[in-house]
Amino acid sequence: MSTYLSRKKSCLSLVATLLVSLFSANGIAQTVDINPNTTYQTVRGFGGHNGVGWIPDLTSAQVDSAFGTGSGQIGLSIMRMRVDASSSNWQIQVPTAALAKAKGVTLFATPWSPPAAMKTNNSLIHGRLSPSSYTAYASHLLDFANYMQSSNAALYAVSIQNEPNWDPDYEGCQWNSTEFIHFLKAQGSRFGTLKVMAPEALNFSKTLADPILNDATAAPQFDIVAGHLYGVSPSDYPLARSKGKELWMTEHYTDNSDANDWAKAMPVALELHNSMTSHYSAYVWWYIRRSYGLITEDGNVSKRGYIMSQYAKYVRPGYTRISATEKPYSDVFVTAYKNSSGKMVVVAINNGTLQRQITLQLSAGSASSFVKYRTSSSVNNQYAGQYTVTNSSTSAYIDPSSINTFVSQ
Q: Is residue 15 a part of any domain in this protein? A: no
The pLDDT value given to residue 384:
98
Q: Is residue 333 a part of any domain in this protein? A: yes
Q: What is the CATH number of the domain that holds 139?
A: 3.20.20.80
Query: Model confidence over 311-353: pLDDT tens digits?
Result: 999 999 999 999 999 999 999 999 999 999 999 999 999 999 9
Q: Mean of the pLDDT values across residues 64-93?
A: 98
Q: Are residues 218 and 325 in the same domain?
A: no
What's the whole-model pTM score?
0.93
Is 60 exceeded by the pLDDT of residue 3? no
Q: Are residues 313 and 207 in the same domain?
A: yes
Rounded-to-integer distance, Cα 379 and Cα 345, Å: 20
Is 70 exceeded by the pLDDT of residue 20? no
* Structural domain containing residue 71: 45-317
Active-site residue 163, yes or no?
yes
Q: Are residues 261 and 330 in the same domain?
A: no
Q: Are residues 57 and 166 in the same domain?
A: yes
Give the pLDDT band (50/70/90) at residue 5: very low
Q: Which of 171, 179, 200, 251 is catalytic?
A: 251
Q: Is residue 7 a part of any domain in this protein? A: no
Is 50 exceeded by the pLDDT of residue 19? no
Residue 350 class from Cβ within 10 Å (0-12 exposed, 13-18 middle, 19+ buried)?
Answer: buried
85 Cβ neighbours under 8 A, 6+ residues apart: 111, 112, 113, 114, 115, 116, 124, 171
Q: Are residues 220 and 85 in the same domain?
A: yes
The pLDDT value given to residue 28:
86
Q: Is residue 51 a part of any domain in this protein? A: yes
Active-site residue 251, yes or no?
yes
Q: Which of 163, 179, 200, 271 is catalytic?
A: 163
Query: Model confidence over 145-155: pLDDT tens digits?
Result: 999 999 999 99
Q: Are residues 132 and 279 in the same domain?
A: yes
Q: Are residues 235 and 139 in the same domain?
A: yes
pLDDT over 90 percentage in the chain: 92
The pLDDT value given to residue 75:
98
The pLDDT value given to residue 27:
56
Q: Is residue 33 a part of any domain in this protein? A: yes
| Structural domain ending residue among the three candidates 259, 293, 317 | 317
